[in-house]
Structure 1
Amino acid sequence: MVAGAPRIFVSHLAGVAVFDPTGDQVGRVRDLVAMLRVGGRPPRLLGLVVEVLSRRRIFLPMTRVTGVESGQVITTGVLNVRRFEQRPTERLVLGELLDRRVRLVENGEEVTVLDVAIRQLPARREWEIDKVFVRRGRKGGALRRRGETLTVDWSAVTGFSLEEEGQGAESLVATFESLRPVDLANVLHHLTPKRRGEVAVALDDDRLADVMEELPEDDQVEILGKLKEERAADVLEAMDPDDAADLLSELPESDKERLLTLMRPDDAADVRRLMSYEERTAGGLMTTDPIVLRPDATVAEALARVRLPDLSPALAAQIYVCRPPDETPTGKYLGTVHFQRLLRDPPYTLVSSIVDSDLPPLAPDTPLPAITSHLAAYNMVAAPVVDEGGSLLGAVTVDDVLDHLLPDDWRETGYHGMEEAARGQ
């Protein structure tokens, strides 16, 4: 960005791709790092927090940025892959400055920060934050939504250096609205505990549930403890039963029972059933929400169920044919119908006529190594779990198996194999 180029609002940089000089993508922008200065001087922009292919977050100094334009960041190609660690004098622009309540110097009016703008200083490779986009109105009230917005100089506001209690998170949440749950979870993991709790409160139940499933256990427990009990129960209901069971197993017995009591009886029953099995067995790993159809269902009905947007690809890969009832634990398990087979037969075909009854199911006490071997041997991404009486209890999916095969801290440390490969490339 050359001197005289227009300012860039930082919300437009969230998730933007970062390229080296040869045009190869090296990562995406997840935040910006600034250093506040005294005397109302605009903060200096130190660099970008870039998430590389291995999900490791590294620091990219602004002195190594050669261009910020057309929805992309161009670098010199020299990257330090050491993990980014925030210093006490640094501020994360997206994570800590947006949604902050500050005051206009002119009249002391309290306003909310919606965005900030950065610019490159003339004839230098230094950047600074020089404009603040704010909204007038009381925090959280009707005026908060309808209030007048205006862009002012950095020196026209005060209050960024103060630690704010109860800072909102609406603008930050909107900035990362398009992120996949796993990527938003990575954003949350790198925020301060205070900010992490504020963002969690701002997310709706379904979105927070999806993100919680991708967070390390310590972060899950921390966030759940900051929610009101009724809301915590709602989020647990929105999570996959196996993930909710894993999270509740980390809580003290009294907290666990209190939250289960607040959950809907059907959801709580599924979670209690999962918690009755050993953790690293098919019963402990399975989900209780696979696609279950009766023998007289048609291919058209099966495809309609597969199309449901809330299903993971692994669960959508096959349906399980059982005698009533249609929900786990069901009546007699008859077999599996694979998604590819559904595509090859006419819509009016009964699923009972194309069922694969030769594929052996898993017993609920099947240990993790045997589950892994089963999925590999039969080239499956999910497997049914059936009890001694022949009733379908649930299904184990490959993502849950991988979760338990990887090291406990894999979400924090990243995929080292990918990282080494990317570095060598």
Structure 2
Amino acid sequence: MASGTSRIFISHLSGVAVFDPNGDQVGRVRDVVATLRPGGRPPRVLGFVVEVVGRRRIFLPITRVTSLESGELITTGLVNMRRFEQRPTETLVLGEMLDRKVRLAETGDEVTVLDVAMSRSPQRRDWEIDKVAVQRGRGGALRRRGETLTVEWSAVSGFSLEEKDQGAANLLATFEQLRPADLANVLHHLSAKRRAEVAAALDDDRLADVLEELPEDDQVEILGKLKEERAADVLEAMDPDDAADLLSELPESDQERLLTLMRPQEAAPVRRLLAYEERTAGGLMTTEPIVLRPDATVADALARVRNQDLSPALAGQVFVCRPPEETPTGRYLGVVHFQRLLRDPPFTLVGAIVDDGLQPLSPDTPLSEVAGYLATYNLVGAPVVDEYGHLLGAVTVDDVLDHLLPEDWRESGTHDTAASSSAGSGGPGRHGEAADGGR
């Protein structure tokens, strides 16, 4: 593999784009796979974990890389699309090495791993991890708190030992710019131990966003490892419908205990949602759509739509209701879609342009009918109204898709077949072993 530099710090490879020889992007680097070796020898770099379309993770052997420079990785064009599965003898560098506590062989001081670097031997094709960037706390041979230094691999010990409280600050720094769905995919592929450590390091809002994108089993596992008070805080930060979906996977005693720890105003909409069957409009809806009184203006509506915390589906329309504006609202009057807001003067009252021609959904409407309703009228969101005409919430197309797709869609990706056909094949062996002579 050619490279513009003799040494590469591996944190700099996180998110690097991977291209085939024709310049078409294959995916992005999410981790580096290495194998530890006895006798203090530097670990051998085996290859890269690459995330391709559909958030599928594959293994790219380092022997299939022709160039690594200028922030991009170029392959030979032969990529095995079989899903990556970590072997017991393999270590994920970003996922498992960063934030470890190791010891300097010369002084015995405990230090934290900030990064590791790999380089290629001039005489061999192999790449090895030969340098370790570490940080030492107060006292000891290093004088300043937080002082950092880079040492040879042989100058530290402790990488082969299992660590109970590893931390995750440096790992998270490498994934800081990832969207919640992509960070969720990273967490899903970590060990249960590292998942818990990363979850503990995330702030409540970021963890809430990530939990909403994880498979249910991972959600329950992570929530169960949090202290109950923090678990309640994270549930408060989640959208009520997602919090209700997560709580519905727990025993009723655990549900009630966590709901009691939540603030009453945050717990109330979650309790209402838990009362509905899961695959109905009531079970799917969010209780926090954009609601305006009829005397609000188009300018007021556009100001609410601009809220960057809203999903595109929720921002696609505003619902016009009599006071109160919190769900359950006063009488539901109708909806104003985003495009209509763009066509009318800012001073126009939303009550004058409301669309009241569509019958709202009842909370017991089954999933299939909700999907048909959205498809028939080309909507991204639909109102859910009780028997007295009060708006209870809104069902959005993303929530419907979550329940229409196969249960394991977050894990398997939705475009695996297309990805496999476009990227070629690396032969019959696992991770392309047949073509690379094994690992």
**Superposition TM-score tier, normalisation by shorter sequence:** over 0.9
Structure 1 residues without counterparts, runs of 5 or longer: none
Q: Partner residue of 1:323?
A: 322
Superposed, 1:60-99 pairs within 5 Å as: 60-99=60-99
Q: Partner residue of 2:108?
A: 108
Report the Cα offset of residue 147 of structure 1.
1.0
Q: For the residues of structure 1 that align with 2:4 and 2:366, how far apart are their CA atoms?
A: 64
Structure 1 pair 402–411 and aligned structure 2 pair: CA distance change class (3 A): same
Report the Cα offset of residue 3 of structure 1.
7.1
Q: For the residues of structure 2 that align with 1:105 and 1:398, how far apart are their CA atoms?
A: 57
> What TM-score do you get using the length of structure 2 for normalisation?
0.93
Identity %: 78
Which runs of 4 or more aligned residues in structure 1 lie more than 6 Å from their structure 2 counterparts after TM superposition?
A: none
Report the Cα offset of residue 344 of structure 1.
1.1
Report the Cα offset of residue 328 of structure 1.
0.5
Q: Partner residue of 2:231?
A: 232
1:276 is aligned to 2:275: yes
Q: For the residues of structure 2 that align with 1:145 and 1:255, how far apart are their CA atoms?
A: 46
1:174 is aligned to 2:188: no
Q: For the residues of structure 2 that align with 1:183 and 1:54, how far apart are their CA atoms?
A: 10
Determine if contact 2:281/2:365 at 8 Å carries over to the other structure: yes
Determine if contact 1:291/1:305 at 8 Å carries over to the other structure: yes
- Greater shift in the superposed pair: 348-357 or 1-10: 1-10
1:424 is aligned to 2:407: no
Q: Secondary structure at the match of 1:308?
A: coil
Q: Secondary structure at the match of 2:54?
A: coil
Report the Cα offset of residue 247 of structure 1.
0.6
Q: Deviations over 1:148-169 (max 9, x none)?
A: 0111111111100000011010
Q: Deviations over 1:374-415 (max 9, x none)?
A: 000000011010111000000001111001001111111221
Q: Deviations over 1:52-71 (max 9, x none)?
A: 11211111000001111111
Q: Secondary structure at the match of 1:287?
A: coil
Determine if contact 2:294/2:320 at 8 Å carries over to the other structure: yes
Aligned-partner residue type, residue 62 of structure 1: I
Q: Secondary structure at the match of 1:84?
A: coil
Q: For the residues of structure 2 that align with 1:295 and 1:257, how far apart are their CA atoms?
A: 38
1:391 is aligned to 2:362: no
Q: For the residues of structure 2 that align with 1:424 and 1:57, how far apart are their CA atoms?
A: 15
Report the Cα offset of residue 347 of structure 1.
1.2
Superposed, 1:125-136 pairs within 5 Å as: 125-136=125-136
Q: Partner residue of 1:348?
A: 347
Q: Partner residue of 2:46?
A: 46
Q: Secondary structure at the match of 1:313?
A: coil
Q: Partner residue of 2:203?
A: 204
Q: Deviations over 1:347-389 (max 9, x none)?
A: 1111111111112211100001100110000000110101110
Q: Deviations over 1:308-363 (max 9, x none)?
A: 11100000000000000011000000000111111111111111111111122111
Q: For the residues of structure 1 that align with 2:195 and 2:352, how far apart are their CA atoms?
A: 51
1:55 is aligned to 2:41: no
1:250 is aligned to 2:249: yes
Report the Cα offset of residue 124 of structure 1.
3.4
Q: Partner residue of 2:432?
A: none
Determine if contact 2:138/2:144 at 8 Å carries over to the other structure: no
Q: Secondary structure at the match of 2:354?
A: coil
Aligned-partner residue type, residue 219 of structure 2: Q
Q: For the residues of structure 2 that align with 1:31 and 1:373, how far apart are their CA atoms?
A: 41
Q: Partner residue of 1:20?
A: 20
Structure 1 pair 190–292 and aligned structure 2 pair: CA distance change class (3 A): same
Q: Secondary structure at the match of 1:32?
A: strand
Aligned-partner residue type, residue 101 of structure 1: K
Determine if contact 2:4/2:69 at 8 Å carries over to the other structure: no
Report the Cα offset of residue 125 of structure 1.
2.8
Say what the alpha-carbon RMSD is for the aligned residues: 1.6
Determine if contact 1:189/1:196 at 8 Å carries over to the other structure: yes
Aligned-partner residue type, residue 326 of structure 1: E
Report the Cα offset of residue 146 of structure 1.
4.3
Aligned-partner residue type, residue 65 of structure 2: V
Determine if contact 2:3/2:69 at 8 Å carries over to the other structure: no
Determine if contact 2:259/2:267 at 8 Å carries over to the other structure: yes
1:299 is aligned to 2:307: no
Q: For the residues of structure 1 that align with 2:94 and 2:400, how far apart are their CA atoms?
A: 34
Determine if contact 1:282/1:363 at 8 Å carries over to the other structure: yes
- Greater shift in the superposed pair: 219-228 or 2-11: 2-11
Aligned-partner residue type, residue 45 of structure 2: L
Q: Partner residue of 1:160?
A: 159
Q: For the residues of structure 1 that align with 2:322 and 2:51, how far apart are their CA atoms?
A: 48
Structure 1 pair 87–347 and aligned structure 2 pair: CA distance change class (3 A): same
Report the Cα offset of residue 6 of structure 1.
3.3
Q: Partner residue of 2:358?
A: 359
Q: Partner residue of 2:405?
A: 406
> What TM-score do you get using the length of structure 1 for normalisation?
0.96
Report the Cα offset of residue 49 of structure 1.
0.4
Q: For the residues of structure 2 that align with 1:145 and 1:332, how far apart are their CA atoms?
A: 65
Determine if contact 1:19/1:73 at 8 Å carries over to the other structure: yes
Q: For the residues of structure 2 that align with 1:155 and 1:71, how far apart are their CA atoms?
A: 29
Q: Partner residue of 1:124?
A: 124
Structure 1 pair 216–293 and aligned structure 2 pair: CA distance change class (3 A): same
Determine if contact 1:216/1:412 at 8 Å carries over to the other structure: yes
Report the Cα offset of residue 183 of structure 1.
0.5
Report the Cα offset of residue 123 of structure 1.
4.5
Report the Cα offset of residue 145 of structure 1.
10
- Greater shift in the superposed pair: 113-122 or 217-226: 113-122
Determine if contact 1:62/1:125 at 8 Å carries over to the other structure: no
Q: For the residues of structure 2 that align with 1:393 and 1:107, how far apart are their CA atoms?
A: 65
Q: For the residues of structure 2 that align with 1:275 and 1:205, how far apart are their CA atoms?
A: 22
Aligned-partner residue type, residue 420 of structure 1: T
Determine if contact 1:4/1:122 at 8 Å carries over to the other structure: no
Determine if contact 1:3/1:122 at 8 Å carries over to the other structure: no
Q: For the residues of structure 2 that align with 1:13 and 1:256, how far apart are their CA atoms?
A: 41
